[in-house]
A and B are shown apart, each in its own frame.
Chain A
Amino acid sequence: MDRYKEIADLHKAKENRIYNSFVSFICGGVMGFLAELIIECLMNWFKLSRTDSSIYMIVIFIFISCLFTSLGFFDKLVTKFKCGLIIPITGFAHSVMSSSLDAKNEGLIYGIGSNMFKLAGSVIVYGVVSAFILGLIRYLIGGV
């Protein structure tokens, strides 16, 4: 068995990690640039505060990625741009939307309702847990 592993290791598929990281880095950067652009536009055009504009920007990003997922081409973009689209909020929205679409034939209750957070559930649970822990640390160190 060890000999098999030795021989199998000689025939491993090569992953182009540098290229993948570069694509994700550039794509993530472009996403950040677009986000900032939207925030600036909202602040200037609608005279909103920076906090409010950020929230609207996130809503816009979520809407666009859900729309693209539903139209059936966001998965192709994800395959191309990899983590550059998965790590930002677009990836989260995409995971919720793709799970829902997957389950739409099983109906609203057993399908969409119970499968919507199949991938995103962990993000929410551990997001809340880590927010609680970090909040606690901040309280213990810095007070109210």
Chain B
Amino acid sequence: MTFYYNNVYLNNTSCVTGPYEKDGLLGEYFDKSYSDLYMGEKSFEKGEIRLVKDSLNILLRKSKINSDSIDLVVGGDLLNQITASTYGSVDIGNFIGIYGACSSSVLGMIIVSNFIEGGFISRGISLVSSHNMTSEKQFRYPTEYGAPRKNSSTFTSTGSACCLLSNKKSNVRVDCATLGRIIDYKENDPNDMGRVMAPSAIDTLLRHLKDTGRDVSYYDLILTGDLGKYGMEILKDYLDKEYDIILSNYNDCGVMLYDLEKQSDIHAGGSGPVCSALVVYSYIYELMKKKKLKRVLFLATGALFSPLLIYQKENINSICHAISLEVV
């Protein structure tokens, strides 16, 4: 299902990160970075809430508006009961909590855009956050355990990123969006998320191209969220072999965010809801404002699973939402 927008603009963004992202390739583009994973709080969970609060405050300050003029905040993260978003968004606008795993960044933007296009609200924020340590605790081992990881595994990014969408004209417009479907390709290795999520990216990309009648060359850049370097290879190879689509204008946010050669802990690339948002809301948004990129298709991929169901031998499902951004 593809929605078209005539009246939705991306007005401003804010990105707050942890130390690994600061040391990565895009470190200079972020608004604020912490050198410690606790962010001056007593626990990692509270640190993540601090990240959310910081990114919201920075966005409001940069946009020169106060919290009363925000009609809606749509937020998502990886914590149980999406508590980082809810605790961090106290007193700012009406709130909708979403869970799309790593695809939350685009899902949030689609929901806010639909509300604006429908005329229900005039200004809304899409917010995502994730924290390496809280998600390690949630999905893998205790944080101090340091279990050896496979080379195909991805590294959850730490940070929070917000974007302000409204019907007020700016230089970047939300053009259209394609909602994803849940895909089950009978994959079940939580240490190889690129392989799990690539089918959903392929599915959403093909449906987006079919619905809009566009060719991949229409876009200056096609970005996937967090497939990592192996997922990227699979996606390119599969589209080439099965559909004769050659992706030359393609990159992956998980690979762009870190310096994979120097930061060996990252393995195959970054992941987490904030990973794709940190790249798009900082570096890509900057390039679009300077008109170096004019049309960008942003596909955020997410793996939908819980550790419980993995132990019960269920497959890992995936989903991917796409949004197209255009320079006005």
Q: Does B118 contact A (CB under 8 A)?
A: no
Contact A11-B233, Cβ < 8 Å, known A99-B142, A102-B137, A119-B142: yes
Q: Does A122 contact B (CB under 8 A)?
A: no
Determine the residue in chain A with the shortest Cβ distance to B152.
A13
Contact A13-B146, Cβ < 8 Å, known A4-B238, A7-B234: no
Within the complex, what minimum Cβ distance (angstroms) separates B117 from chain A?
35
Assess whether A101 is in contact with B144, with CB atoms less than 8 Å apart.
Answer: yes
By a CB distance below 8 angstroms, the chain B residues around A5 are 185
Interface-forming stretch among B61-69, B94-102, B191-199? B191-199
Assess whether A13 is in contact with B241, with CB atoms less than 8 Å apart.
Answer: no
Q: Does B213 contact A (CB under 8 A)?
A: no
- Report which of A1, A11, A79 forms a contact with B146, defined as CB distance below 8 A: A79
Assess whether A75 is in contact with B237, with CB atoms less than 8 Å apart.
Answer: no
Interface residues of A in 76-108 (CB under 8 A from B): 76-79, 82-83, 86, 94-95, 97-99, 101-102, 105
Interface size class of A (residues with CB under 8 A): 20 to 34
- Report which of A15, A20, A98 forms a contact with B145, defined as CB distance below 8 A: A98
Number of chain B residues close to chain A: CB under 8 A: 32
A-B contact count (CB 8 A): 83
Assess whether B141 is in contact with A82, with CB atoms less than 8 Å apart.
Answer: no
Assess whether A102 is in contact with B144, with CB atoms less than 8 Å apart.
Answer: yes
Q: Does B127 contact A (CB under 8 A)?
A: no
Determine the residue in chain A with the shortest Cβ distance to B231.
A11
- Report which of B146, B242, B268 forms a contact with A76, defined as CB distance below 8 A: B146
Contact A102-B143, Cβ < 8 Å, known A8-B234, A13-B230: yes
Contact A118-B234, Cβ < 8 Å, known A7-B241, A15-B150: no
Q: Does A10 contact B (CB under 8 A)?
A: yes
With A98-B141, A101-B142, A101-B144 already in contact, 4 other A-B pairs whose C-beta atoms are closer than 8 Å:
A1-B186, A13-B268, A74-B146, A101-B143
**7 nearest A-B residue pairs (beta carbon):** A75-B146, A13-B152, A98-B144, A102-B142, A13-B151, A11-B233, A105-B43
